[in-house]
Amino acid sequence: MRKNFPVTSVEYEMQEGRHIVSMTDLKGKITYVNPYFVEVSGYEPEELIGKPHNLIRHPDVPPGAFEDLWQTIKRGQPWTGIVKNRRKNGDFYWVVANVTPVMAQGRITGYMSVRTKPSRAQIDAAEQLYRAIREGNKDGVAIEAGQVIPGGWRGWLARNANASNATRLLVAQIVTTGALCVSAAIALAATSGSMAAAAAVVAVLGIAGSIATYRQLRVALLRPMTQGLLAARSMAGGDLSETVDTSRHDDAGQLLRALYQTKVNLAAMLGDVRANIATVNSSTHEIAEANLDFSARTEMQASHLQETAASMEQLSSTVKQNAEHAEQAQQLVASAAAVASKGSEVVDRVGATMSDINTSSRKIVDIIGMIDDIAFQTNLLSLNAAVEAARAGEQGRGFAVVASEVRKLAQRSALAAKEIKTLIEESGTRIEAGNALVGEASQTMTDIVGA
């Protein structure tokens, strides 16, 4: 027997109303487990499927209990008992195990186990029983078809109490026939002649009646009960192909018809369930295909999003660069504005200087005008002096020479003053033009700074 270790003293309690379901093949290897089995056992589904069912067997349960389990279900009979199982981490849990052979066309194809939560009284009784068996079983307790059979004469009574109806009827028939035979023998020994013959006839008729009654009861009760039992076991095992005789009209016939109707209704419901499952499978297949298509579209969308993200990253980088360039441009604009402001100030100063130069030029023109007047007056005076020197004759000759030189000097001064005036006037014109340009430049600088 397999021993699963290690074990702990920690109990895992099943939830009320929930069921642990599993199925195995004929060799006891797991072929199906429901989600609650996985939850309670602590194993993953892949750790259970294909493994022997004794993977969850607890070493506290005596081997005789599992031997009785296998002997019972191999005979095609269901087995019910209190079992202690082991979880993956060594903890334990108690269950009421209901094991049923799975039937198909009258043959056992596997086994199905449905486990429910036991009461605390059931757990205490099973724990006491298993402990007594492990400690030597001095009371001779046995487990038969999942039921506890005490030892000694109480066990004999229990077995007789659990005997089949066929056995009970056969025993009653034997006892009745034996009693009639004894009664007939006593009557024959005590009487003679016609009375003995009559007693013998009565005994024979009694025995015949007893046998006929036995056969009638067997046909009326035992046969339909056996047929109903086989049909019920087949239905419990999932096989709805077992035939049921519905031709009888007695109480047993009504029971068989009710069983037949139950089978028909169950078959109809299973048919509807299968049809619904087929519809669900079809819908599930369509949903799966839609999910695959959606997954493909999602992958494409994810790819597009990645490309968009890359583009956004590039755009972000470009925007960042543009921001940096804008910041640099702003700095350059600020610098240009500062330079323009300084340039505007310089232009204003140049304008002021040009204006001062223009003013000074006008003053110089005025002074040159005065010089020209002085030269003109000097020329007139030199002419007058020359006239007076001519009148003076020889005495005025030297004065005439001086007057001539003075006249020449006055003429040269007038000519120079005229040329200077011309140059100054040209310079003034140019200064005015430059002053206008300076004004325009100053306005432009002001506009630049304001922008």
Per the domain annotation, does 323 fall within a domain?
no
Per the domain annotation, does 428 fall within a domain?
yes
Domain shared by 76 and 123, yes or no: yes
- Please give the tally of structural domains in the chain: 3
Domain shared by 122 and 193, yes or no: no
- Please tell me the total number of residues recorded for the chain in this structure: 451
Domain shared by 342 and 226, yes or no: no
Q: Residue 387 belongs to a domain with what CATH number? A: 1.10.287.950
Per the domain annotation, does 376 fall within a domain?
yes
Domain boundary among 151, 183, 205: 151
Domain shared by 182 and 127, yes or no: no
Tens-digit pLDDT profile for the chain (451 aa)?
577 889 999 999 999 999 999 999 999 999 999 999 999 999 999 999 999 999 999 999 999 999 999 999 999 889 999 999 999 999 999 999 999 999 888 899 999 999 999 999 999 999 999 999 888 887 778 888 788 887 655 555 555 555 555 666 666 667 676 766 766 666 666 655 566 666 666 667 766 767 766 676 666 666 777 777 777 777 777 777 777 776 666 677 777 777 766 766 776 666 777 777 877 778 778 888 877 887 788 788 778 778 877 877 887 787 788 778 778 877 776 776 676 677 667 666 766 776 777 677 677 777 777 877 777 777 777 777 777 777 777 776 676 777 677 777 777 777 877 787 787 777 777 777 776 776 776 677 667 656 6
Task: Give the domain extent around 133.
Answer: 20-151
Helix ranges restricted to H, 137-250 = 152-161, 165-190, 194-217, 223-236
Residues 6+ apart with CB under 8 A from 347: 438, 441, 442, 445
Q: How distant, in Å, are the alpha carbons of 169, 203, 212 from that of 219?
A: 12, 24, 10
Domain shared by 101 and 184, yes or no: no
Domain shared by 423 and 346, yes or no: yes
HEC-encoded secondary structure of 395-428: HHHHHHHHHHHHHHHHHHHHHHHHHHHHHHHHHH
Per the domain annotation, does 306 fall within a domain?
no
Domain shared by 142 and 31, yes or no: yes
Per the domain annotation, does 207 fall within a domain?
yes
94 — alpha (psi -120 to 50), left (phi > 0) or beta? beta
Cβ pair 76, 108 in contact under 8 A = yes
Q: Residue 91 belongs to a domain with what CATH number? A: 3.30.450.20
As beta bridge partners, residue 92 has 11, 86
As beta bridge partners, residue 332 has none
Domain boundary among 118, 151, 184: 151
Domain boundary among 216, 236, 256: 236
Axis-axis angle for helices 223-236, 251-392 (nearest 10)? 10
Domain shared by 123 and 192, yes or no: no
Domain shared by 145 and 24, yes or no: yes
